Amino acid sequence: MAIVEAIATAYLEEGVEPNDTFGVEFTGIPATYENLRLIVSPRSPNNTDAGHLHIQFGTGGGAVDTGANYDSHYQGVSGTTILGGSLLNSGKIILYDVVTGRKALAERFGAVEILISDYANTNKNTTTMGWCGLRTTSASKRNMQYGGCWDNTAAVDRIKIIPNTDGYARGTSYTLYGEKSS
Amino acid sequence: MAVFNVIDHQETGSGGDASYSKSSIGTSYDHLYFTASTRISTSAIYTTQYIEFNSDTGTNYSIKSFYAIGSNNYAGSNHSGNNINYVYAPSATADADIFGSLEVWIPNYANTDNYKQALCTWGFANGSAANNILGTTAGLWMSTAAIDTFKLAAGSGTFDQYSTYTLYGVNGAT
């Protein structure tokens, strides 16, 4: 049996989603893996160069937690500007500027990888680590790293991924992998 | 042959562990990949962890790190170090239940012609803007020996209970 398994894939091919609260949601995630890894190739119809990606977690078969129980941190380079910052006690983990928007060149999508470590361990809060690289126009390019925390020790069985505005553009894809440790 | 293969997995028990180590790593893989979820007992917000290969504690390591604490960015380097450090984990005064994420890629670890590179990515969000920390550290072990022992150690104190470590051997196409 493979050590790394694809749990689910969502590929948006039906065109632009009109609902700005639309999110892709993976449910029923088993607790049988050591880590989860999420690979996202996102683009939004939002009239920006790049927008944010939001992540929420759920447990026990219930809905995702939308309370102010998430912390986010980032660092990286945008153009030649070095960035660093945090957002605390928010309703979601935020990955800044990873979803290319309408002002980005055509066919430019973000590239995002998110590691969710030991997500089923009930003695730990759920922490994430991710990074992205994208070049939206000839002048705009980013290389960013992200840390996140869900202030809850419950085992994660649901993940929701939401763009900050205007849904996703056609061609956006998400794949969730599980990584075993035995 | 499978692409990813588990070489070893350990979890720290209630007594804590000063380090995680795996010896007798075979040479049959193309790359090594290591993930850990750790917290350290030292009375601090964060403490460095360090990596050693083949029990070599000589000044044979070179590192370059780029990291952020809160909204401030930093760079660290050491060109004759005893190990690969600047790999931080949450510690005793970080928020409760926070464990940091770490992953390490060691490409072509078994070759005997080149020095070995390790790319380490690590971090955690902590509930306090000033104490969130994450970064990337490139490490070079200046030895042409094949890596047969991998060690991750706490810079001070011990790894807390529930810290986990998984070492994978990764194959390319054959």
Residue A169 reports pLDDT greater than 60: yes
- Which pLDDT score is estimated for A23? 75
**Average of pLDDT values for A53-78?**
95
* 3-class SS letters over A56-111: EEECCCCCECCCCCEEEEEEEEECCEEEEEEEEEECCEEEEEEEECCCCCCCCCCE
- Which pLDDT score is estimated for A70? 97
CATH class held by domain A4-179: mainly beta
Mutant choice from B46, B132, B159 vs A, greatest count of A C-beta within 10 A = B132
Residue A63: which residues within 8 A CB-CB, separation 6 or more?
A158
- Count of domains observed in chain B: 1
Q: Which pLDDT band holds residue A20 (cuts at 50, 70, 90)?
A: very low
- Which pLDDT score is estimated for B16? 98
Query: Which of the pair, B130 or A26, is modelled with greater confidence?
Result: A26
| pLDDT tens string B65-87 | 999 998 999 999 999 999 999 99
Mutant choice from B124, B159, B162, B165 vs A, greatest count of A C-beta within 10 A = B124
Expressed as residue numbers, the domain containing B91 is: 4-170
Q: Which pLDDT band holds residue A29 (cuts at 50, 70, 90)?
A: very high
Cβ contact (<8 Å) for A71 and B100?
Answer: no
**Average of pLDDT values for A6-32?**
75
Cβ contact (<8 Å) for B164 and A121?
Answer: yes
Residue B32 reports pLDDT greater than 80: yes
Domain containing residue B111: CATH number = 2.60.120
- 3-state class (DSSP) for residue A140: coil
Q: Which pLDDT band holds residue A13 (cuts at 50, 70, 90)?
A: low
- Select from A181, A82, A96 the least CA-distant residue to A147: A96
pTM of the complete model: 0.93
